[in-house]
């Protein structure tokens, strides 16, 4: 007999059984599904970046005044704040929608795609924040160098080339730190969805 037929014959035999009691206990245990982890990570991301964006509300009056004298008219800051909150809200909506689409009863391919899509939204959110942080830091330093009395005093002794060099080194240090943060994210998600990525490739290869 073909071995596959032999296996088919054996296939439906029961081997192991859990009692009702065991099953009751099981369904109340905590899940270790990757969707749960993705969810925790995305909520963590939202809170983290929302926190960073909201730091300004907790500055002391003195510090706020200092910022105002350094950055002058704060209408630009105001617009930037509104835009950044709007973008955060947009991401929350996108994430909410993509989590709703994840259903364990969809077919294998759809489930994989929906999870990968959710992960992509988190990735865009993190990228957006890292880019904004980079631009913000560079801009902040640039304005501070011009307007902060202590810093601008220091820079009056620098010629243009030295200033440029300073800004370049500063930009490089910030960029390297951001790349490190980015790699850290890659590692987290890489580990989390390694199996999913591999299986998705296998499934796509069939087509």
Partner 1 sequence: MDKHLEEQFVEQLETNQNLIHKVCRLYTHDVDAHNDLFQEITIQLWKSYKNFRGDSKFSTWMYRVALNTAITLYRKSKRSIQTQEFDTVQFKIQASEYDDTEEQQLKEMYIAIRALNDIEKALVFLYLEDKSYKEISDTMGITEVNARVKMNRVKTKLRTILNP
Which residues touch 86 (CB under 8 Å, ≥6 apart)?
none
Near partner 1 in 23-62, by CB under 8 A: 23-24, 26-27, 29-35, 37
User: Which residue lies nearer to partner 1 by CB, 7 or 150?
Assistant: 7
At its nearest, how many Å lie between partner 1 and the CB of residue 80? 39
Q: What is the distance of C-alpha 84 from the center of its chain?
A: 15
Nearer to partner 1, 30 or 157 (CB): 30
Write the binding mask 159 to 198 for partner 1: x where contact by CB under 8 A, - elsewhere. Answer: ---------------------------------x--xx-x
Diameter of the chain by CA atoms? 92
DSSP type of residue 104: T
Question: In three state form, how does the secondary structure of 159-185 look?
Answer: CHHHHHHHHHHHHHHHHHHHHHHHHHH
C-alpha to C-alpha distance for 187 and 182, rounded to whole angstroms: 9
Least distance from partner 1 to the Cβ atom of residue 203, Å: 5
Nearest residue (CB) to partner 1, 3 versus 157: 3
Site string for partner 1, 97-126 (x = CB under 8 A): ------xxxxxxxxxx--x-----------
- Which residues are CB-neighbours of 192 under 8 A, at least 6 positions away? 34, 37, 38, 41
Q: Which two tokens stand for residue 111?
A: 């489930």
Residue from 18, 78, 96, 158 binding partner 1 (CB under 8 A): 18
Interacting residues toward partner 1 by CB under 8 A: 3-4, 6-8, 10-20, 23-24, 26-27, 29-35, 37, 103-112, 115, 192, 195-196, 198-199, 202-203, 206-207
């Amino acid at each position: 007999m073909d071995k596959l037929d032999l296996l088919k014959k054996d296939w439906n035999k029961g081997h192991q059984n859990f009692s009702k009691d065991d099953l009751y206990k099981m369904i109340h245990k905590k899940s270790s599904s990757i969707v749960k982890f993705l969810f925790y990570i995305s909520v963590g991301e939202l809170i983290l970046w929302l926190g960073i964006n909201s730091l300004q509300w907790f500055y002391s009056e003195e510090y706020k005044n200092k910022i105002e004298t350094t950055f002058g008219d704060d209408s630009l800051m105001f617009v930037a704040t509104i835009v950044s909150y709007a973008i955060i809200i947009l991401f929350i909506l996108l994430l909410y929608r993509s989590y709703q689409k994840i259903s364990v009863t969809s077919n294998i391919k759809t489930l994989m795609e929906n999870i990968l899509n959710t992960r992509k939204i988190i990735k865009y959110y993190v990228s957006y924040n890292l880019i904004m942080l980079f631009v913000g830091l560079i801009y902040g330093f640039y304005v501070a160098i011009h307007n902060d009395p202590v810093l601008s005093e220091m820079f009056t002794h620098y010629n243009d080339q030295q200033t440029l060099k300073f800004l370049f080194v500063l930009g490089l240090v910030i960029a390297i730190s951001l790349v490190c943060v980015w790699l850290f994210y890659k590692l987290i998600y890489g580990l989390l969805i390694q199996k999913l990525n591999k299986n998705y490739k296998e499934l796509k290869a069939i087509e």
